[in-house]
Structures are given as structure tokens and as C-alpha cells.
Amino acid sequence: MKESKNVSGTDFAKVDAHVITAEEYEEIPELDDDFFENAVWQIDGKPFTPPAKVGRPPKENPKQATTIRLDPDILAAFKAGGKGWQTRINNALREYLEAKGLAAEVKA
């Protein structure tokens, strides 16, 4: 196996041989929440500010996950329309509620 070149100029044998004493541990500051809140990210030695939030912003009225049993032919008909079949089922149910005059009660 090839030995890697020591480009840092550090005497790693000396570092490996060093035994850390209790006094040296006391010199090391504790990495508390304040440390991480004030830390500066760096990429290639340059400060970097990560985006505050990743992903879509939260919706005011998000959809709720549920399980529903449908007849196979009904499900196949909605899925045959391609992507968005769950939205189409949601819209069909909303139209039904509006036709029965129940939509206002549900949305409130």
C-alpha cells in the first residue's frame, strides 16, 4: 500500500505519541448550544450561509393523509388519468359535498 504524502508538515508520529493530560482537557471549551448557534459554516475556507429553510413553505390548510377503500374499477378509472389521481378524487368528493349543500359545513 502506498504511503500518503504529509503535505501539512505535521509530525504525526509525535502527535500520535502525545498523551492528553487532565489539565489539557480543562483547556478545551465545551461545545454547547451557543457555540453551534454562532458557528460560521465554511466551504473551501470561505464563509457560507446555508438557506434558512429547505423545501416548500408550509401550507395554511395542508392535506391530511388517510386510508380509503374504493372499488377496483373506480380506482382504476381515476388512475387511468395519470398523475394527480388523488387530487381528482378529492375534487370529485368536494363537488359531491357542494351539490348536497354540505361543503360550507366541512370547510368551516
Is residue 83 situated within a structural domain? yes
Distances (CA, A) of 26 to 20, 23, 68, 72: 11, 5, 60, 69
pLDDT confidence of residue 72:
97
C-alpha cell at 89: 378524487
Range of the domain at 83: 72-107
For the chain, what percent of residues have pLDDT higher than 70? Answer: 91
Placement of cell 451557543 in the chain: 34
Is residue 1 situated within a structural domain? no
State the total domains in the chain: 2
Placement of cell 508538515 in the chain: 9
pLDDT confidence of residue 54:
77
**Beta-carbon contacts of residue 47 (< 8 Å; ≥ 6 apart):** 40, 41
pLDDT confidence of residue 77:
97
Number of Cβ within 10 Å of residue 18's Cβ equals: 9
Asked if pLDDT for residue 1 goes beyond 60, the answer is no
Query: CA-CA distance, 24 to 7, in Å (whole number)?
Result: 27
pLDDT band at 102 (very low <50, low <70, confident <90, very high): confident
